[in-house]
Amino acid sequence: MRVCHVCSAHDADDARVFHRACAALAAEGYDVHLIAASPERTSYERRGVHVHPLPPAASRRERLARRSRVAELAASLKPDLFHVHEPELLGPVIRRAGTRPVVWDVHESYLDVLMQRDWIPRWMRPAVRLAWDRRERAMVRACAGVVAATEPIARRYRALHPRVRVVANYPPRPTEASPRRDGADGHTCVFAGVLSAERGLLEVTEALAILRRRGTEVRLALAGRPASSDFLPTLFERAEQLGVRDLVTHHGVLSKEEVARFHARGTLGVVTYLPTANSIAGMPTKLLECMSLGLPVVFSSFPLYEEVAGATGAGISVDPRDSGQVAEAILRIVQNPVEARAMGERGARAVREKFNWESERPKLVELYRAVIG
């Protein structure tokens, strides 16, 4: 059976799309094809997956303009099933699928995402949200199944479709019983991912200033792509105003191997996303990645985060808007290395035993078998 995973914005090296879903299905014997952004110019095979590269889109406008061409490319591969990962591609793929099944993979709470997009004028967002709500409801009825990244996201679709599966974006099971982090310096917070104000990084910077005034020096090491061109300048300017510019560093965009080494040098991970509706409904992969590496975490006190990191004792939950709370949590971990190591070990054990991709993979395979055998 040939299946085609269809993306335009996602990278061909994406953790959920390529390393989790596509690689798992290829291992099950499916003929898996992936259309995704890549610097490569010609198609290639990796981990049993046939990758058809798209040049990375230079802008949102360019990505939207090519959605019909991407759907045509997917149809030209003559798959038995289409698996769509981006909202703007769902309609074009359904129109070209004919009687062949389409699976809609919902990574985020898109109705909530639309209310946060800076490129949509604030006064227009409710109308845009309503328009997408109506359009998506019609498209979902034409799908053979829906995959949701979390249970809160799935709730919307259970009322719209009889075949909804929650397939969490958990990391691979750690191979070590207790990951070694010999490079940790004892006073560095780390965050690797998309950098934006919604990640609570301004509040973490304010927490560093609180700690410095109390005589404790803690650094913030960042890695990843800024969500907008003005975010890092804004963050650095705020750090300068607070007198902690020397404590905040950006290490650029790192490879997966480099991110693992980057985390290994940290004392704790900060996953203090602000309480937007999409953040509350979602589960940040950064939280699980830190836990899998044995890194204690300071995390937002949202129900899903508490269920994963709080219930397992992997770190300390905080109100991410309260920089004082964030400072106290960081201080507790920095000043109590034995407790911090125990948190890290509990987090790694939780990922090893429960919150890992190996526990989620069968759900995706079961859906495929139900749809196409």
With cut-offs at 50, 70 and 90, classify the pLDDT of residue 181. low
Question: Do 2-170+356-372 and 188-353 fold alike per CATH?
Answer: yes
Contacts 24+ apart (CB under 8 A), 176-181: 176/348, 177/348, 177/352, 178/294, 178/345, 178/348, 179/292, 179/293, 179/294, 179/344, 179/348, 180/264, 180/294, 181/263, 181/264, 181/265, 181/266, 181/293, 181/294, 181/295, 181/344
pLDDT score at 186: 83
For 340, the token pair is: 């911090």
How crowded is the C-beta side of 354, counted as CA atoms within 13 Å? 10
| 3 and 100 Cβ atoms separated by less than 8 Å | no
The domain ranges of the chain are 2-170+356-372, 188-353
With 60 as the cut, is the pLDDT of residue 24 above it? yes
pLDDT score at 184: 67
Distance CA 45, CA 294 (A): 33
Residue with tokens 């911090």: 340
pLDDT score at 261: 87
User: From residue 55, how far is each of 144, 192, 256 by CA, in Å?
Assistant: 29, 24, 21
| 167 and 235 Cβ atoms separated by less than 8 Å | no
Task: Quickly count: other Cβ atoms within 10 Å of residue 175's Cβ.
Answer: 8
- Model confidence pLDDT, tens digit, residues 196-238: 999 999 999 999 999 999 999 999 999 999 988 999 999 999 9
Homologous superfamily assigned to 2-170+356-372: Glycogen Phosphorylase B; (3.40.50.2000)
Share of the chain above pLDDT 70, in %: 98
Q: Read out DSSP for 72-101?
A: HHHHHT--SEEEE-SHHHHHHHHHHHTTS-
**Amino acid letter at 332?**
R
With cut-offs at 50, 70 and 90, classify the pLDDT of residue 176. low
Please provide residue 51's backbone torsions phi and psi, each rounded to the nearest 5 degrees: -100, 130
Distance CA 70, CA 48 (A): 22
With 60 as the cut, is the pLDDT of residue 177 above it? no
State pTM to two decimals: 0.91
Share of the chain above pLDDT 90, in %: 88
pLDDT score at 58: 83
With cut-offs at 50, 70 and 90, classify the pLDDT of residue 264. confident
- Stretch 69-85: mean pLDDT: 98
Strand partners, 299: 271, 317
The CATH-assigned architecture of domain 188-353 is: 3-Layer(aba) Sandwich (3.40)
How crowded is the C-beta side of 258, counted as CA atoms within 13 Å? 10
